[in-house]
Structure 1
Amino acid sequence: MQLNKVIGNIETFNVGKSTIEWVELDWEELNKRILRKRTDCSREIAIVLEEQGLKYGDILYHDEATTIVVQTKLEPAFVIKPKNMNEMGKVAFELGNRHTPCIVENNEIIVRYDKTLEGIFNETGVEYVETETRFNQAFKYKGHHHHHHDEHETTSSAHAHK
């Protein structure tokens, strides 16, 4: 079965008595236009979209019997809990310097799990917890691309200070 568009979202769409089949995607897959997946009922589907950008609850198919809905995978994550603006600024700077996609909500920063980030958290003294979460939508990369011309030197000097 080939699915070519998002026809609504489970939050606002009336599915009636239709059975919901979930197709589970990780956050990287949410940004892909072409995917081959299976629903939780083992139905094989091909998702072929004109535009990228799926999110939790998007409905890809609906009839009287079946509704196919996007579910996001439970993924390892860090929830960072800065106590004040100073901690927020320090950790946000370090995450931005590494181009780490994040979500900021409820005075917390949520990032995908990456063991190497713990060094940043410990250096900045910010409180954090390791957990699992479902990212409702893909991370959006904003701004421009830039290149670090002296990246090797920066990396080497950073290691020398440890």
Structure 2
Amino acid sequence: MIIEKIVGNIASLSKRAPHVERVYLQSDDLVKRVQRVVTDHGKELGVRLKENRELIDGDVLYMDEKNMIVISVKDDDLITIKPTSIGQMGDIAHQLGNRHLPAQFEGDEMLVQYDYLVEELLQKLEIPYQRENRKVRKAFRHIGHSHD
């Protein structure tokens, strides 16, 4: 079966099928418009999205009256940064921006993929953080940039 469009997202669907199969993806795979995936029931699917969009956790790839196939993102190894002031937030945002590290924000937390150099920097700057395995809804996007 080839999936060319997303049916919707499980969080906002009013009608659901009684049986759910899951496709478990790494967050990096969410940006791939073309890929081969396997459900937790062993069903192979080809994903070839016609629209230019990324997958997100909970996207429904297929649904009929009895079955639906849903994307589930695997946990990432993250550093959750919890600055205690706007000064700390500015300092760490500046430092990570200079390194071109992608970040995501959830409430008052900054999320970055684990890197021991970032951990050392946070310790040096005495900025509160914790390392944890956590699911992210969207992929971390590296933004191309050069210093000309």
Task: Please list, as runs of the form range in 1=range in 2, the aligned pairs for 1:62-141 lying within 5 A after superposition.
Answer: 62-141=63-142
In structure 2, what is the Cα distance between the partners aligned to 1:99 and 1:56? Answer: 25
TM-score, normalised relative to structure 2: 0.91
Root-mean-square deviation (CA, aligned residues, Å) is 1.6
Which 4+ residue blocks in structure 1 deviate beyond 6 angstroms? none
CA contact (8 A) 1:30 1:52 kept: no
State how many pairs are aligned.
147
User: 1:141 offset after TM fit, Å?
Assistant: 4.9
Stretches of structure 1 that go unaligned for 5 or more consecutive residues are 150-162
The verdict on how the C-alpha distance between 1:55 and 1:105 changes in structure 2, with shifts beyond 3 A counting, is: same
* Contact kept? 1:80, 1:129, Cα under 8 Å: yes
Structure 2 distance, partners of 1:64, 1:18, is 8
Using the alignment, how far apart are the partners of 2:78 and 2:16 within structure 1? 35
User: Residue 59 of structure 2 aligns with which residue?
Assistant: 58
**How much has 1:65 moved relative to structure 2?**
1.9
Report the CA distance between 1:130 and its aligned residue: 0.6
Which amino acid is the alignment partner of residue 145 of structure 2? H
Post-superposition Cα deviations, 1:73-124, rounded to whole Å, max 9, x if no partner, equal: 0111111111111111111111111111111222111111122211221222
Q: Secondary structure at the match of 2:101?
A: coil
- The letter of the residue matching 2:3 is L
1:16 shift after superposition: 3.6
The offset of 1:18, in angstroms, is 3.1
Q: TM-score, normalised by structure 1?
A: 0.84
Question: Percent identical across equivalent pairs?
Answer: 33
Instruction: Report the alpha carbon displacement of residue 15 of structure 1 after superposing the two structures with TM.
Output: 4.1
Higher gyration radius (CA): 1
Q: Which residue identity does 1:14 align to in structure 2?
A: S
Give the equivalent residue in structure 2 for 1:158.
none
Separation of aligned partners in 2, 1:57 and 1:63: 16
AA matched with 2:24: E
- Aligned counterparts of 1:16 and 1:126: Cα–Cα separation in 2: 44
Unmatched runs of 5 consecutive residues or more in structure 2 = none
Q: For the Cα contact (< 8 Å) 2:17–2:63, is it kept in 1? A: no
Partner SS state of residue 116, structure 1: helix
The one-letter amino acid paired with 2:37 is K
Letter in 2 for 1:45: L
